[in-house]
């Protein structure tokens, strides 16, 4: 299983303390029986039963940052999860935000696709308050747009295997309503000369635990991750990104930008993990946040783990109110304060808006920005 932190020194291994757990509100064996009665596919049934024994031993984490100490799961309903599978599911096992939530998707997903991409494929999915699990094995080119909307609770998991010379573009758009709670776990395996581009967008007022991990097993690959966030009211975005460099001459970057208003908060944890043998690899991490109110907050927790000398690695983070000098400059050129603020905020999201316009989704960001410019 891919752990978020792999800390070894000679024959010693560091142990990361686990959060306290709770089991109340979890699915039961009756829920499992109900699910299995809906699934005829022997490969899916086998996979679910293999994972269930581990699932029952782990509770849901009590997350202080997100203020989560209880859960309300939706009633299980089968809606075609992994329908049509004709082989054993040898899926990537990973820790994610917390192992419990990855297993929750593995076992109790109502929806999910298992797709092999040999040439070129464009996929657009939209999930609203669902537990889902999607898998893509890519030999050609995949463009994936995921729209994840949460009104109450959602738990979504995505696995991508990018084979040699594969091209993968992923656009995740998370929209959360006030008082909602959502979890999104993504893991990507990257082989030789694969190109991976991810735009991870968080908009709204809810509590969100997000995780994206990429492991560069191959050589001469590139992983370009750009998270964006717009939080308001009492939103809490607890986001974790992991780039693990195993092969040589790989490039990987995490460059996050966003804005927060009211009492919104973002916790940003970026891990650049360069293993021994990852020679001539380049790793970069950057976070920048504009605070639009005195009560909004960004907490950056960068981690740079380097076990190879011949690499280039860096990280930086900043959070600050709107630049009053920039506001003054724009106002001296004839713009009023509202217009000046609009120019600055739109500048952060301009490239993203242009990228989303290809799919006709630019209004999602434009409409969200409007409330921050008032």
| Residue 335 in this model has a pLDDT that exceeds 80 | no
Q: What pLDDT, in 10s, does the model give residues 128-141?
A: 999 999 999 999 99
> Residue 13 has what pLDDT?
67
Spatial separation of the C-alpha atoms in residues 229 and 200, rounded to whole Å: 8
Beta-carbon contacts of 273 under 8 Å, excluding residues fewer than 6 positions away, are: 6, 242, 243, 244, 245, 303, 305
Choose among 212, 265, 214, 205: nearest CA to 233.
205
C-alpha–C-alpha distance, residues 132 and 347, integer Å: 34
In the three-class reduction of DSSP (H, G, I as helix; E, B as strand; rest coil), residue 272 is classed as: strand
Return the pLDDT at 6: 77
The tens digit of pLDDT for each residue in 4-44 reads 887 666 666 666 677 899 999 999 999 999 999 999 899 99
**Tens digits of residue pLDDT in 311-321:** 999 988 888 78
* Assessment of whether the complete model's pTM goes beyond 0.75: yes
pLDDT per position as a tens digit, 161-205: 999 999 999 999 999 999 999 999 999 999 999 999 999 999 999
Closest to 213 (Cα-Cα) out of 270, 276, 153: 270
Q: Is 300 left (phi over 0), alpha (psi -120 to 50) or beta?
A: beta
- 196, 218 contact by CB (below 8 A): no
Distance CA 167, CA 40 (A): 34
**What pLDDT sits at residue 80?**
86
Q: Is pLDDT of 285 > 90?
A: yes
Structure confidence at residue 204 (pLDDT): 96
Report the alpha-carbon distance of residue 234 to residue 255 in Å, rounded: 24
- Residue 234: how many CB atoms within 10 A of its CB? 16
For residue 8, the model assigns a pLDDT of 67
Q: What are the φ/ψ torsions at residue 108 (nearest 5 degrees)? A: -110, 25
Rounded mean pLDDT of 326-333? 78
Is 324 buried (19+), middle (13-18) or exposed (0-12) by CB count in 10 A?
exposed
Residue 17 is given by DSSP the state P
Average pLDDT score, the chain:
92
As a whole number of angstroms, the distance between CA 61 and CA 64 comes to 9
pLDDT of residue 186: 98
Statement: residue 274 has pLDDT above 70 = yes
């Amino acid at each position: 299983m891919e752990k978020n932190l792999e800390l070894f020194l000679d024959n010693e291994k560091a142990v990361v303390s686990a959060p306290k757990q709770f089991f109340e509100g979890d699915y039961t064996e009756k829920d499992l029986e109900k699910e299995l009665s809906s699934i005829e596919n022997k490969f899916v049934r086998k996979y679910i039963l293999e994972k269930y024994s581990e699932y029952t031993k782990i509770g849901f984490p009590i997350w202080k940052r997100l203020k989560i100490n209880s859960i309300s799961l939706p009633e299980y309903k089968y809606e075609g999860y992994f329908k049509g599978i004709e082989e054993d599911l040898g899926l990537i096992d990973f820790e994610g935000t917390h192992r419990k939530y990855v297993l929750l998707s593995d076992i109790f997903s109502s929806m999910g696709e298992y797709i092999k991409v040999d040439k070129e494929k464009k996929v657009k999915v939209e999930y609203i308050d669902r537990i889902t699990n999607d898998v893509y094995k890519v030999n050609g080119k995949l463009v994936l747009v995921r729209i994840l909307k949460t009104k109450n609770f959602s738990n979504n998991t995505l696995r991508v295997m990018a084979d040699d010379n594969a091209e993968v573009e992923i656009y995740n758009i998370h929209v959360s309503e006030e008082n909602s709670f959502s979890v999104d776990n993504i893991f990507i395996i990257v082989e030789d000369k694969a190109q991976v581009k991810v735009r991870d967008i968080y908009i709204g007022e809810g509590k969100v635990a997000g995780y994206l991990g990429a492991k560069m097993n191959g050589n001469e690959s590139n992983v370009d991750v750009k998270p964006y966030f717009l939080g308001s009211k009492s939103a809490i975005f607890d986001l974790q990104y992991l780039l693990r460099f195993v092969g040589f001459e790989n490039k990987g970057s995490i460059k996050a930008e966003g804005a927060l208003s009211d009492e919104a908060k973002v916790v940003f944890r970026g891990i650049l993990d360069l293993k021994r043998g990852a020679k001539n690899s380049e790793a970069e991490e950057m976070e920048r946040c504009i605070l639009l109110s005195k009560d909004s907050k960004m907490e950056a927790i960068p981690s740079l783990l380097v076990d190879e000398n011949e690499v280039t690695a860096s990280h930086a983070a900043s959070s600050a109110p709107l630049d009053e000098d920039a506001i003054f400059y724009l106002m001296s050129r004839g713009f009023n304060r509202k217009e000046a603020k609009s120019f600055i905020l739109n500048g952060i999201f301009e490239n993203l808006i242009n990228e989303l316009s290809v799919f006709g989704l630019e209004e999602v960001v434009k409409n969200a920005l409007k409330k921050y410019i008032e």
